[in-house]
Each structure stands twice: as structure tokens, then as C-alpha cells.
Chain A
Amino acid sequence: MEQQNNEMVKFENSPPTGMQVVLREFKKDKLAIISFLGITFLIIGFLVAAMFLNQEEILKIKLLERYTEPGVNGYKLGTDEAGRDMLGQLVIGAKNSILIAFAITIITSIAGIGLGIVMGYYGGFIDNLFMRITEFFMTLPNLMVIIVFVTIIPKYGIFELILIISLFQWMSTARLVRSKALSEGRRDYVSASKTMGTSDFAIMFKGILPNLSSILIVELTLNFAGNVGIETGLSFLGFGLPPSTPSLGTLVNYARNPIVLSEKWWVWLPASILILILMLGINYVGQALRRAADAKQRIG
């Protein structure tokens, strides 16, 4: 009884917090729920499926089976110009693209959050110095610079690509976190924390950071979608992953051949649709999260 009473009091007194708000927002937005379930299912599905595939077998060139149509010879999605199974390539490519985007998101967010919070909290000279550096990076035409880097570096794989892209993607997070940390760092609770003898480091990462979490979750989700786009875009242009490592971008890249584009639709269409679905889904989820983080925009 006591327990129940407490629960009731709590329910009536307190406005909904954290997860409750997010859940309510999602309930009101069918598209967001479908997107969330869809992309979770897709991402987990591709990651798990890729573990069970034999990559070497799939990437083996079998010239006799060039451009097999879907459904023939057990190739559910047909084969490409080298007779490689498209379904297998799609799974491996999706896994690579997702993992790359994920790694870039994590690296850039660690750098961006760390730098942004330091700039915002200390302000003054440190802020000035790092903001000018950030602005310098922002003025660079990212895609061009990345392409130059990729051409200069003689031999590169997934790991190098992640680092190169990360080098030019941390600025927006840093700026966002800085602006929020600037206002958050001048709140009374930060001063209160100081009067308790809390160190600057603890104030920044245990005091201020959790208060930025709502906008960060949104930013990271949308960044993730953006990073999938950048990786596939680069690969499509031929500056991303080498052809021996399939990714969604390299698969779409086959469509540059006019004959493939007009007659062999199974080679490029599945990958294109998958990119579309992934990007749309992540964006819908991100927008629902954004609304949940901002009371003014909420519909739930």
C-alpha cells in the first residue's frame, strides 16, 4: 500500500522525465516508431548476417556467371560484372558502411564533446584559440580535402578512411557543445559545485555533460545518418573504400556504367534503396528525439 501510494504521489507530482518524454513523443509519431523498429532490425540484421557469410567466397571472381539475373542459379539478387553474389555483397557492404559511420560518429563525438566542453567551460583565451582552429577547419571544403588525402595516402583501408573522415567531421559537434556549455557553465549549480571543492574536470564531465545529453543524443543520431552519407558518397565517387572492400557506396558506383544503369538494375538498385531507407529512418528517429528534447516542439 505504502509503495503504491508513493508511486501515485510521484506520478502526480513530477512532470515526465527523460525516457518518459521520449516514449510519449514516439507514441504520437507512428513514422518514428516504424523507422526506429525498421532501422534497428536492419542494422542488427545486417551485422549478424555478415558474421555468418564467407567473404572470400562471395568476392571470388566467377566470370562465367557475369550478370546473372536475380533468382537464377540460387543468386537471389543476381551477380555483378565479375559474377559475385549481389546479396552477399549487399550484406557485407551494409555492414562496412554502418560500422564506418558508427566509428566516425564515435571518434568525432569524443573529440567534439571534449573540446567543446573545455572551450565552453573555460571560455576566454582557450575558447578563442580553439574556436579559431575550429573555424579554420570549418572553412575547408571537406569533401575536396578528404579526396586529396585519400589520393595522397598510398595504401588505405577501412581504418585509414575512418580517421581521414573523422579529421574533418568533428567541428559541428564541438561548436554545438561549446555553445551549450557556455550557457550551462555559468549556471549557479556549477558555482555551487565549485564551492563544494569539486575539480574542474569533474564539473565538466559529471556536472555539465549530463545536462547536454538531450541535444547530444539528437546531434549524434543525425550525425550518424550524415556519416553514412559521406562514406557512401565518397565510395560512389571512387575515393572511398577500394573495390575489393564492398560498401553501399561501391555497389551504387556500378551504376556509373550506362549499360548497368539501364539494363542490370539488380546490381545497383538494392543498395540505393537500402541507403534511402537507412537515411530516412535515422532522420525520422532523430527528429522525434529532437522534438522530445525541446519542449516547444513536442507533439506528444
Chain B
Amino acid sequence: MNTANDLLTIRNLTTSFRIKETYHAAVEDVSLSLKKNEVLAIVGESGCGKSTLATTIVGLYNPVNTKVKGEIFYNNQNLTSLNDEQFNSLRGNDIGFIFQDPLSALNPLMRIGEQIAEGLMYHTKLSKQQRGERVLELLNQVGIAKPERVARQFPHQLSGGMRQRVMIAIALSCKPSILIADEPTTALDVTIQAQILDLLKALQSETETGIILITHDLGVVAEMADRVAVMYAGEVVEEAPVQELFTNAKHPYTRSLLNSIPQTHSENERLEVIQGMVPSLVNLPREGCRFSARIPWIDASAHEKTPQLHEIAPGHFVRCTCWKRFRFEGGEGGGTV
């Protein structure tokens, strides 16, 4: 799994939060890697640990109440062991981060131009004038019409799509080799979503950045990603190239997810749903297959005692063995063995 052209390698990463004096893992034993010029999508429902994974990578966790185990390798540096100063020289410069809600992620009392120039100030030796030029260049690059004017404006004067473009410009300002996008289109309406995704794609092919795209929108995944990791309750349950995942999904959770996408041709049918809810962090069963509680019609013997990731095809990993005997409730379609 670990090859030389990996940009970022995550090995056995566990992030736990302290809740009432005991630590509960929100991300458990996750191993992933990101290659150059690749879009790795991380999918899952709310509360499955996607964002925790992202914030752990950039070190945005509270050091007192959070415990991080495992390794995140970037350029032979283990990110989990860096101190603040070392992290600051990396963040923004090598790793860019795009937030979900662009309005709250921009400082309301700072002009757009200054916010974009902030990263340049810390990570490059450009003069003030050169920074100004680079800001305009970046705004141009993300498709903003009047960069001179926008650079002088405040966030509240821009529309939602423009704000997200500004966020992208900020993340790209120092030409990072990794871009982490935490649900970049969730706060936007559908037409703007498409524009932003197109923009991200275009910028990626230009700059060869590796992107970690965190989303719960499978449509976005299908359009953008090269490889997909599906997370459930803090674990990666399936990892596969995007084609493989959409045509040949194995894990019950992935299949249920795909099954619950609304289909346009079946107007009168009920929407497929996954039974139950993601268990909360405190009540999460730590043993056995974590998805078993939501597919109670599958016999308990189908699950592994300690579910492992199995490589069932090149590059296609599935956790637990329950997929072999999984069928939708009441339906057929048991796993193909």
C-alpha cells in the first residue's frame, strides 16, 4: 500500500476525544494514502469521523482533550509529532484547507486581499507589492471577475459562491501539494456547487495537487474522485477506485448508501433508507462489525470477530466478511462469493 510516489501516508491513525474523563475514538485505526495528482474522496454519514480525520491531518485539534495515535507521513515528516511552530511552517504552505462554510471561515473584519495575502506573508519572501499582484492573480485564477475590487471588499459583500472561490484562492495561495477540502460544496446551492467542483478539477489538473475530498454527496464523488474511502463509525469499511466502487461495491454499508440515492425513474417508490442511526461516540460498540446493528437480518455468524480489511481485488479493500452473505432486507442479491 505504501509506495514511493505517495504524497501523504496515514498509518493506523486513531483520534480520541476525552468525554467525561475517558477517551473515545472518533477515528480508529485508519490507514490511507494519497498520491500526487489524485483525488481521494472520503465518504460517510454525519458523525462517522470524516471531518475529525481532516482536522487531525492539519493538527486542528485541542491538544488537551484529544489524543492522537498513529502516524501521518508527509515528506518523511510525521505530522502527529510536530510542535506548533513546525506545523505552522507546513500548514498553508504545503497543505491547504478548504472549509465547509465560507462565510464563517473568513474573518468578517479583514479585507479579502489581506486574507489571501496572509499565507503569502508567512510562507514566502514576496514583497508587499508582489503579494498584491499574486492576490489578483489568484483571484483571477479562481474565476472572480473584478479582482481589484473584490480584493478591497469584506466577506459580507460577496455572494456565497464568490466566498468559496476566495477560500479556494486562500488555500491555493502558496501552491500546496495537498489540498484538503472538507465538504467544500455543502453550503452552496446546486448550480454553484457544479461551478466550484469544475473549478477545483481545473485547478487540480493545472497544479497536480493531491486532493482529499471529504463529502457525503455521492454525486460529487462520482464526478471528482479517483479513489474512494468509505467510512463508518470511525473506521474505513471499504476503499476502492471510483469505477470499482460504483459498479462493484461490496460492503453492506456502501451498498446501502448507493441504494439510498434517490433515483429519478422511480417517482412513486419509497426512498430507500438505512435502518437506525450512527451510534454516538460514547455508545459505539468497539468489538465486532460496527455495521451489524443496522443490518440485524444478517446472521451474526456472517461477521468477523475482529473485522479486518481484506483486499478482494487489486486496490479494493473491504472490512469484515459479512459482505459475502449480505442481501437487502426482504430482497435477494446475496453477496457473490
Contacts and interface: CB of A to CB of B under 8 A. Distances in A.
A263 interface: no
Contacts of B258: none
B122 A192 contact: no
B60 interface: yes
A193 B88 contact: no
Interface of B: 55, 58, 60, 64, 84, 87-93, 95-97, 99-101, 104-110, 118-119, 122-123, 149, 154, 156-157, 167, 170-171, 173
Interface in A186-221: 187-189, 191-200, 207, 210-211, 213
Given A191-B60, A199-B88, 4 more contacts: A189-B105, A189-B107, A192-B167, A197-B89
A192 B91 contact: no
Interface stretch (A13-21, A85-93, A153-161, A226-234): A13-21
Contacts of A17: 154
A10 B89 CA distance: 37
A196 B118 contact: yes
Given A14-B157, A15-B156, A191-B99, A196 B105 contact: no
Contacts of B118: 193, 196, 198
A71 interface: no
Contacts of B60: 191, 194-195
A139 interface: no
B119 to A, nearest CB: 4
Nearest to B106: A189
A198 B122 contact: yes
B89 to A, nearest CB: 6
Contact of A188 (B58, B87, B90, B101): B101
A124 B64 CA distance: 8
B157 A197 contact: no
A218 to B, nearest CB: 16
Contacts of B119: 196-197
SS class, residues of chain A in contact with chain B:
helix
Contacts of B96: 195
A5 B91 CA distance: 40
B63 to A, nearest CB: 9
22 contacts: A14-B156, A14-B157, A17-B154, A125-B64, A191-B55, A192-B99, A192-B167, A194-B58, A194-B60, A195-B91, A195-B96, A195-B97, A195-B171, A196-B122, A197-B89, A197-B93, A197-B119, A198-B122, A207-B107, A210-B109, A210-B110, A213-B109
Interface residues of A, number: 25
A194 B55 CA distance: 11
A54 interface: no
Contact of A189 (B58, B91, B93, B104): B104
A284 B91 CA distance: 47
B124 to A, nearest CB: 11
Contact of B84 (A187, A188, A193, A200): A200
Which of B88, B89, B99, B167 gathers most chain A CB within 10 Å?
B88
B290 to A, nearest CB: 29
Contacts of B99: 188, 191-192
A187 B89 CA distance: 22
A6 to B, nearest CB: 7
A194 to B, nearest CB: 6
Contact of B88 (A15, A125, A198): A198
Interface string A2-45: 00001000100111010000000000000000000000000000
